Amino acid sequence: MLIEARGIEKIFPAPPLSGGEGLRALAGADLEAGPGVLGIEGPNGSGKTTLLKILAGILRPDSGEVLADGRPEPPRRLRALAAFCPASPRGFYFRISAIENLRFFGALAGSSPEDAAAAAAKFAPRLGLSGTDLGRRFDRLSEGNMQKVSLLRALARRTPVLLLDEPFRGLDAAARSGLLAILKELSPATAILIASHDEHFLREAAPRTLRLFPAGGGAGR
């Protein structure tokens, strides 16, 4: 699948009655990515996460459009086409196990809970996550293992577009190698976009890299 962003602009409004100004995160970002891995780099505040969230249909842009295979797609359709792995693994239910979290989010994405669990279990050992880890309550996992579960949630959806925000954060060397191998395997059929400050691993994962500049500086891509 070919995913495209055209002229994406995003300004986060200031909180009501705060007297502050809105924050311009993207000022006309363009991007095109087909099967393979595309790296996205840029300094803090350059809009990497914002761009990934717009591509994932989580955020709505103020202007511009996102196209899949040349067709403009509404955010809900994008949420079905793209799986997003956020930079922070905060978006999990800490009182239930990792595998129950994966079953839950799998069901919301349209899989049966069993399929979601099986898909996650397929990738888990390659990231160094055991069955015991998956059965452990989420708040008892180390931060690195939380990040692995977060990656599994996105990988298990098997969507044609995979959006990974700082995927290497907190991973040990074996897990990083495992993730690189998984990405290599998926890349012939999946458009994978990775935003990261880890230049070494970004270069290793992505043959092509796009650099974002802060929108306040006048450049959007």
Partner 1 sequence: MNTLRVAAAFLRKDFLAETSYRLSFALGAAGTLSGILIFYFIDKLFGGAMAAHLTPYGTGYFPYVFTATAFFGYIGTGAGAYSERLRLEQAQGTLEAVLSTPVTTGSFLLALTAWNFLFATFELLVYALSAVFIFSLDLSAANWPAAALVFFLSAACFASLGILSSCFVMLFKRGNPLAWVLNNFEGLLGGVYFPVTLLPPWLAAVSDILPVTYAVRAFQLTVHKGAGLGAVKGDLLALVLFDAVLIPAAVYLFHLSTERARRSGTLGQY
User: DSSP letter at 56?
Assistant: T
Of the candidates 40, 34, 32, 39, the residue with the CA atom closest to the CA atom of residue 5? 32
Helix 143-155 and helix 98-108: axis angle, to 10°? 30
Tokens of 184: 């290599």
Smallest gap from Cβ 204 to partner 1, in A, equals 27
Q: How far is the CB of 126 from partner 1 (least distance, A)?
A: 23
Give the β-pairing of 23-33 and 82-85: unpaired
Hey, what amino acid is at 219? A
Nearest distance in Å: CB 40, partner 1? 18
Contact range with partner 1 by CB under 8 A, out of 72-80, 124-132, 172-180, 210-218: 72-80
* Residue 43 near residue 13, CB atoms below 8 Å: no
Smallest gap from Cβ 88 to partner 1, in A, equals 8
CB proximity list for 208: less than 8 A, separation 6 or greater:
36, 37, 38, 39
Site for partner 1 in 4-63 (CB under 8 A): 10, 12-13, 50, 56-60, 62
User: Which contacts (CB < 8 Å, 24+ apart) does range 142-147 have?
Assistant: 143/89, 143/170, 144/170, 144/171, 144/172, 144/175, 145/98, 146/89, 146/92, 146/170, 147/89, 147/171
Query: Does 176 contact partner 1 by CB under 8 A?
Result: no
Q: Which stretch binds partner 1 (CB under 8 A): 65-73, 91-99, 141-149, 177-185?
A: 91-99
Q: Which of 72, 94, 140, 211 binds partner 1 (CB under 8 A)?
A: 94
* Residue 211 binds partner 1 (CB under 8 A): no
Considering the complex, state which of residue 57 and residue 178 has its C-beta at the smaller distance from partner 1: 57
Side-by-side strand order, sheet with 23-33: 23-33, 3-12, 63-68, 71-72
Pick from 64, 75, 160, 170: which binds partner 1 (CB under 8 A)? 75
Per-residue x/- track, 95-134, partner 1 (CB under 8 A): xxx--x--xxx-xxxx-xx---------------------
Residues lying near partner 1 in the complex (CB under 8 A): 10, 12-13, 50, 56-60, 62, 75-77, 79-80, 84, 86, 88, 90-97, 100, 103-105, 107-110, 112-113, 137
